Amino acid sequence: MRTRILLAVLATVLVAGCSGGGGASSSLPSAPQGPGTQATTQEISQAATEAAFGPIESGDLENGLYNGSMGVALSSAATTSSAFTSTNGACHNGKEFTVTVISPTQKQYELKTFYDSNCSKLGRDVVALVTRNSASSENINRTATNYNLSGLVLSTRKANYSLTGTQGNFSAVVTSSLFIGTSATASVMFGRQFTIAPQNSTVSTIAANSGRVVNVPNPGVNKSFGHMGVLQDGTKTIDSSANIIFAGTHSGTFIRGPYGALTLSVTPPFTVSGGTTLGTTTVTGSVTFDSTGDLTAVSITGTLWNGDGIVVTSSGSPGTIAINGTITNTSGQQVASFSVDQYGDGVITYANGGQALIIDWHVVR
């Protein structure tokens, strides 16, 4: 089931943000940077959350390649997870999973997650169209739509995957665009290139580069933020319970520019151009998803270019998990704290009491 946590707060902050109040504002104090570019508390927090949420965002996009909710990648059998007791859309523990054969080379996978175990209030709908081009090539078009308790759309993420190789040993390019509410204009553009190689029956290594641009239209911010970086010592592990654990260290450079001024390259390696570099941040840790794709555990720590630290942990069980984080300066004082649900929807609160909305792993309002 999808958790109801934070949704009332989300609605409150969203309304406040739309009316021009209650969100992050340009009056937030500047954080000390030392020599070079200055950044506000909001900008420091934006960079910190982008860095910390990056591994979760990529894990959310990619775990379905291995658990069968998008068909196991490049598998001739198009295996689905044994955790799904039915592939005909029957309700089971707040989920409905449907596999539709369109042609000998094309299948559609749809996974619906509900707020309740009876499958009456839809929380998320993920539809993946998988096209098998050849024994070593596959394309996936995936659309994930998140809903609030009233049935209104929180966000829609449209992603495209291009895979080349063999099952468990392949290269991939993933690009996606995130739309907030019913907007037809993307707020976030994301790209990631990765290669996965098996080391044994349960562990694979991952090498990756990624980039993203986030446009924040809040009148108190009205800027665009970019990030580009590489994954080091990346691994994917499948444990005895069929959980998928992504781990590694990610170092990335953050860029700031006027609203709409940043550009993400259309092909890998993914780079961002058009702004001013703020600095480089490194995060390390792990993210775990269960056999049905639910986020079950997060443990991430990191350091920003100015010495500020970020710690992200999780609490609760699958379906009701909360991801909580704090950002502190070099004196140990809290810069901001945040809490989101398993799909990255929640609120960040700054030290001065201001708040901003997080939707699908990005501070966007």
Please tell me whether residue 304 adopts helix, strand or coil conformation.
coil
String of DSSP letters for 180-231: ETT-SS-SEEEEEEEEEEESSSSEEEEEEEEEEEEEE--TTT-EEEEEEEEE
Task: Kindly report the three-state secondary structure assignment for every residue of 147-185.
Answer: ECCCCCEEEEEEEEEEEEEECCEEEEEEEEEEEECCCCC
pLDDT confidence of residue 22: 35
Question: Hey, how many other C-beta atoms are within 10 angstroms of the C-beta on 254?
Answer: 27
Per-residue pLDDT of the chain (365 residues; tens, 9 = 90+): 665 544 544 444 343 333 333 333 333 333 333 334 578 888 899 999 999 999 999 999 999 999 989 988 998 765 666 677 778 999 998 999 999 999 999 999 999 999 999 999 999 999 999 999 999 999 999 999 999 999 999 999 999 999 999 999 999 999 999 999 999 999 999 999 999 999 999 999 999 999 999 999 877 788 999 999 999 999 999 999 999 999 999 999 999 999 999 999 999 999 999 999 999 999 999 999 999 999 999 999 999 999 999 999 999 988 889 999 999 999 999 999 999 999 999 999 999 999 999 999 999 87
Please tell me whether residue 16 adopts helix, strand or coil conformation.
helix
In angstroms, the Cα distances linking 174 to 58, 157, 227, 286, 295 are 9, 12, 16, 20, 20
pLDDT confidence of residue 14: 45
Q: DSSP letter for 32, please.
A: P
In angstroms, the Cα distances linking 220 to 23, 57, 223, 257, 262 are 8, 26, 9, 14, 18
Q: In angstroms, rounded to a whole number, what is the distance separating the alpha carbons of residues 14 and 27?
A: 19
* Tokens at 207, concatenated: 């090498």
Question: Tokens 């993946």 appear where?
Answer: 128
Alpha helices in 19-123 (DSSP H): 41-62, 64-67
Q: Which of 365, 345, 352 is nearest to 149 (CA)?
A: 345
Q: In angstroms, rounded to a whole number, what is the distance separating the alpha carbons of residues 303 and 311?
A: 9
Chain-centroid distance of CA 364 in Å reads: 13
Question: Tokens 């704290």 appear where?
Answer: 337
* Tokens at 270, concatenated: 């993914």
Q: Which of 253, 208, 214, 261 is nearest to 234 (CA)?
A: 208
The set of residues, in sequence order, having a beta carbon less than 8 Å from that of 185 and lying 6+ positions away, is 179
Q: Is 353 exposed, middle or buried (0-12, 13-18, 19+ CB in 10 A)?
A: exposed
pLDDT confidence of residue 265: 97
The domain limits of the chain are 7-363
Chain-centroid distance of CA 327 in Å reads: 19
Which pTM does this prediction carry?
A: 0.90
Quick check: 225 and 256 in contact, CB under 8 A? Answer: yes
If phi > 0 it is left, if psi is from -120 to 50 it is alpha, else beta; for residue 219 that is alpha
Question: Hey, how many other C-beta atoms are within 10 angstroms of the C-beta on 92?
Answer: 14
Could you tell me which residues are beta bridge partners of residue 12?
none
Instruction: Output the CA torsion sign for 215, 58, 288, 81.
Output: positive
